[in-house]
Structure 1
Amino acid sequence: MSARVDHVVTSGTFSLDGGTWEVDNNVWLVGDDHEVVVIDAAHDPDEILAAVGDRVVRAIICTHAHDDHINAAADLATATDALVHLHPADDPLWRVLYPDADYEPLHDGQQFEVGGVFLEVLHTPGHAPGAVCVYAPQLDAIFTGDTLFQGGPGATGRSFSDFPTIIDSISERLLALPVNTKVFTGHGDSTTIGAEAPHLDEWIARGH
């Protein structure tokens, strides 16, 4: 199998509810030597384009519409003629940054094919209403955005977020995956489903 996962880290800011924070974001590229899907076009389109190289970008998938995950999406789409895909439940967040730009709506169960592998969209609300994870079973990998990190669920203390919902999404959709599934996150280090699954009760008790 020639498909692989490439990775760049881009830096910028995240703004919501009147606050702004410096952040580093993981940008994931799934594909082969000829074509690629970009997951979470964050901050720096030129750096992402450098990682793409001469490959065709088949799609730009947004795991959710917080501005740090989409703020390079429009420029990347213009540069590559690729479409941006987002779950429509995140439209209010998208419109904060892109009041006039359109996207292709994602839906649960939707599949993309790139480099001979399939990517399946799993709707996993909680961190944001339209949050999705992108599952690549042939690569034993899932791209979780800000739904699941090494050490627990994504933050739910800001607008459009809900802690019980993210716990349901993680327990029902993610922890049901094979334990050897690699978890490629929106920020920070990667992990596995097997490493995170035993801690669900701890996360619920912490309620963070």
Structure 2
Amino acid sequence: MRSLSECARRLTADRGFAGFTIEELCEEAGVSRRTFFNYFAAKEDAVLGFPALRDDDALDAAFVAGGTPTAGAPSADLVDALLELFIARWARMALTASEAERVFAIIEQEPRLHSRILQLVREGEDRTIALVERREGLAAGDIRAHTLVHVVGTLNRVVAEEFLRDHGDAPPSIDEFADRLRTRAAVVRELFG
């Protein structure tokens, strides 16, 4: 999957997004069209590195199963559990600074990719909100689930940007990423105490 994304990014940088077909990408990467669609739903997703089927089912199930809401109040460990879910997702991504820079540069030159990444981010938020609602037994659309996911998601984005800026292409240290995210969350708790 990673080699397909790298190849898609290189072709996009060299020829522009419209300058190659999925067939040309597959030929360049040495895979079949069927293999491509096993990993990605569209060419845009290959360039962005978003797989068609994320293998997050076990993570999601563990998160949902950990909920113990009582009398309409969220589980005592909800925030910490959501932080751990974001940390586990980051660990699976293993993105380096140069990969992120390439993706952002391509997004800037290809407006079609910009709208696709916004769509994927919204879908990810919606999926995570639904997980919080299921874990906590909340009705769909509960403002607490939305607010929590947006706050933790923003912290995650800030820490990811900071982490990539500070570490360049060094192998990502999940422990340091996790410490930074937990520290930011502690600041939010203190501020909203």
Of Structure 1 and Structure 2, which has the larger fraction of its residues in helix? Answer: 2
- Tell me the TM-score normalized by structure 2: 0.27
Higher relative contact order (CA 8 A, sep 6+): 2
Between structure 1 and structure 2, the one with the greater Rg is 2
Of Structure 1 and Structure 2, which has the larger fraction of its residues in strand? Answer: 1
- Tell me the TM-score normalized by structure 1: 0.26
